[in-house]
Structure 1
């Protein structure tokens, strides 16, 4: 069992202010795999003070952009050789199948670091405009200050890199709060940060629960909060930031739709929906768990989806053939099983799956991949984010009705359309109200493209140049004409 008895504050490993610890438990075996020192609000104060000094007095915000880019590229180079080790860490702490851990959890963050570095190199950090009254206007992009970044357990490294690297490139200092379920990958990254020789105080990492998170959000020394998590928690974060007029970025929940048009190939559609709806064992905010299919081919598409769901290898996440692993915690297993029971009580037809453990599994927080058919848009399983391997099939009559159903939730994060006619698919993509969308693919979260939602799915954008701009303020300087 790993023991981590130090905290990473201001770029250094230091003793915690308290004596409490928390356990990291394997979702696959239910065994304790690590014991980690638990930070207190005193440790948050120390981390914010270090970040404040690094921003207000240190060199980082004042460096040429090229030097900040070079530091990120050093970090990416250090990250690359350890990808295999990192994939095993993430798989062990939150249960991701190792094949998905290697790609979605580990490889994509490396691509993101290099992509962000290239975007920063080409960003227009200063712009001259002719003023209306004849003067020159200089518009500068300047860092917002100290950033509190709060990251959930489902995609820990992916979401950490998506916040940390743009903030650093912008010139900010960062206090990162990972989830207590997934501290080990964050501390793996902390070791790399020390080797990348970043300035003192620039980054602190404090894995902790809700109390520490709430304290960080309300801390007067923090200029912006970047939060990823549930919509319910996001509303509380937004309220706390609003009370202090603090900048906030929110990447929240989703209940996205995969719209299957009547010309889509059933087998290809089912294969695509496997990724779109069941990636990371269904524990993804972008998961397209509502599958909208035309009544004219309803049975055919349901059969294709049923064959796909029933055939998914489920079990040991360290097995490369596993497609669906355990859920992160027993509370999550209970939640998902509860929704399966709700779906049956509401009258949806259980096609495959259910609440019992997968065959051959006698421990761990598993839920069988589950498919419901004959789901009505008003049912809870079609309205509420389940965050597990559960798909719902909803019938529609025409494209207009499909778009109405796709939009008939409080969320608007992601979505996809499946069709043999790309132009027809683009027409659907333009009409569905969401922040992201894919045509014949699960939305890929490309590092070059802005990511985020509308409605209750969040505020602001991550990734792309917009991801860096979210940590920048625009300052305008006017220079009198002729002077």
Structure 2
């Protein structure tokens, strides 16, 4: 017997959606349909697969207003910012479509008389995409588009906080005319998801979520010889060098820390500033933070919405309170943000100084609107502190010296290094991580590699 679930809006605590988890019969039917459709879909010419996926993206872009309202209602991002997710979705999808021919082309080694030899990328089969709520379209499209274009069928299990996002994807691919079974959505309980992972129903898993969730996925797959891409947590650092444009760094790092209420795997959670510009940077960072307007995300003038749920906000409140008790100084007066109230999802942005790495707020993922700022004496100290983390998704260096940034970047243990920007995914570059941030690659031509297998052709002519 299937279970029911509901979605509570972060803005006001009202229930906005009632859903039902798939029962075993529905799961079996979806898996069978995906398997049945895969042979025909993989034999569909690449140009036709690309055209149908492009049509689905066209549909989503045309429904940008519905998407924006869905994002704001289900996870609390301000309505003035939610349309940006559609722009990001389109950028990534169009790029992955544009590079598909190159990424999936045969690899031909040097000619050898009497032989025809080449390597061909073939689809894996059925790909299970497990997407989170925080960037519900962007995170999902990273795997969905290349998986389908490469000739795989896709099962999308979206977060139970954002089931309407899954339904919008389903509507888009139905409108694009994908054959039955090529793309399907499943609302699954945790228990049924684990059972599914233990079976031979899927041939690859693309998971975005917490470290704990990634560990559960990897454990469930441990007895199977299939791949998985795990994009997990982050505690992303920034380093502001002595020669940085302080005003520009502060402006961009405030946005990197507090956009989406800090609920971003690549959001800025800790900042190291050269001691010669530390005071000026902190003052400017606090000034800009004070300009945020925390409130109901459906209001046009709100630029900082609630966190996804009150328990998430309470977790961050606990980190802040603990750090202050250990000697940190909070620079933002919460009273300046009257919407911020204990027991609710509304939380004022907070800037902490006098912090150190013994504090949870500097070593444990916050996933909320708080950032710690520390002074450093030189590049070496900055690199040491940036690497002093169990995570490694992105890091940013703020400087006018590109050569110095490149030299430092080589020493930083992370998946992506930025100079003078942060909190952004370039679809031409591989999105990956190290340490507890997980493994695997999405985006770029390499993103197609993990969604295909290589077959070698060796013909004596």
User: The TM-score by the shorter chain falls in which range?
Assistant: over 0.9
Equivalent position SS for 1:437? strand
> Is 1:42 the counterpart of 2:21 in the alignment?
no
> Does 2:173 match 1:193?
yes
**Alpha-carbon distance in 1 for matches of 2:2, 2:441:** 38
| TM-score, normalisation: structure 1 | 0.91
Name the SS for the 1:129 alignment partner.
coil
Matched residues in 1 for 2:36 and 2:29: separation? 11
Deviates more, 1:213-222 or 1:86-95: 213-222
Paired position in structure 1 for 2:75:
94
Say whether the 8 Å CA contact 2:103–2:446 is kept in structure 1. Answer: no
1:282-310: per-residue Cα shift (whole Å, max 9, x none)? 00000121011112222222211111222
CA displacement at 1:138 relative to structure 2: 1.6
Deviation of 1:26 (Å)? 0.8
Distance 1:177 1:19 in 2: 16
CA–CA separation in structure 2 for the residues paired with 1:133 and 1:277: 59
Instruction: Report the Cα offset of residue 216 of structure 1.
Output: 2.9
- Please state how far the C-alpha of 1:360 moved relative to its aligned partner: 4.2
Is the CA contact (8 Å cut-off) linking 1:415 and 1:443 kept in structure 2?
Answer: no
Q: 114-123 or 41-50, which moves further after superposition? A: 41-50
Give a deviation string over 1:443-469, Cα, whole Å, max 9, x none.
420122111101111111111111122
Q: How do 1:369-388 residues align onto structure 2 when only pairs under 5 Å count?
A: 369-388=349-368
* Larger CA deviation: 36-45 vs 228-237: 36-45
1:316-363 CA-to-partner distances (Å, cap 9, x unmatched) read 212333221111112212211111122112222111155x79314679
For residues 191 and 114 of structure 2, what CA distance do their matches in structure 1 show? 53
Match of 1:358 in 2: 337
**Is the alpha carbon distance of 1:407 and 1:361 closer, same or farther for their aligned partners in structure 2, counting shifts above 3 Å?**
closer
Instruction: Determine which of 411, 414, 418 is the counterpart of 2:398.
Output: 418
Q: What is the 5 A alignment of 1:16-95?
A: 18=1, 20-55=3-38, 57=39, 59-95=40-76
Provide, for residues 129-165 of structure 1, a one-character-per-residue CA deviation record: whole Å limited to 9, x for no partner.
2478974322010011111110111111111111111
Aligned with 2:331: secondary structure? Answer: strand
Q: Secondary structure at the match of 1:377?
A: coil
CA distance in 1, matches of 2:22, 2:336: 36
- Measure the CA separation in 2 of the matches of 1:407 and 1:53: 47
Structure 1: 5+ residue stretches without partners: 1-17
1:321 counterpart SS class: coil
- Give the equivalent residue in structure 2 for 1:262: 242
Name the structure 2 match of 1:150: 130
Local SS of the residue matching 1:30: coil
User: Is the alpha carbon distance of 1:91 and 1:121 closer, same or farther for their aligned partners in structure 2, counting shifts above 3 Å?
Assistant: same
8 Å Cα contact 1:437/1:443 also seen in 2:
no
Among 216, 221, 233, the alignment partner of 1:253 is 233
Partners of 1:395 and 1:432 in 2: how far apart? 18
Structure 1 stretch displaced more, 403-412 or 232-241: 232-241
Segments of structure 2 that go 5 or more residues without pairing to the other structure are none
Q: Match for 2:259 among 279, 289, 312?
A: 279
Superposed displacement of residue 441, structure 1: 0.8
What does the per-residue CA deviation read over 1:153-195, in whole Å, with 9 as the maximum and x for residues that have no partner? 1111111111111100111011111001111122122111111
The 3-state SS of whatever aligns with 2:421 is coil
2: CA distance, partners of 1:465 / 1:279:
29
Q: Map 1:56-455 onto structure 2 (within 5 A).
A: 57=39, 59-103=40-84, 105-130=85-110, 135-353=115-333, 358-360=337-339, 364-455=344-435
Number of aligned residues: 460
1:345 and 1:42, CA in 2 relative to 1: closer, same or farther beyond 3 A?
Answer: farther
Could you list the per-position Cα deviations for residues 112-132 of structure 1 after superposition, in whole angstroms to 9, with x for gaps in the alignment? 221111111333421222478
**Counterpart-to-counterpart distance in 2, 1:299 and 1:26:** 39
Superposed CA deviations along residues 15-62 of structure 1, whole A, max 9, x for unmatched, are xxx45321111101111112122223432222211111111x4x1111
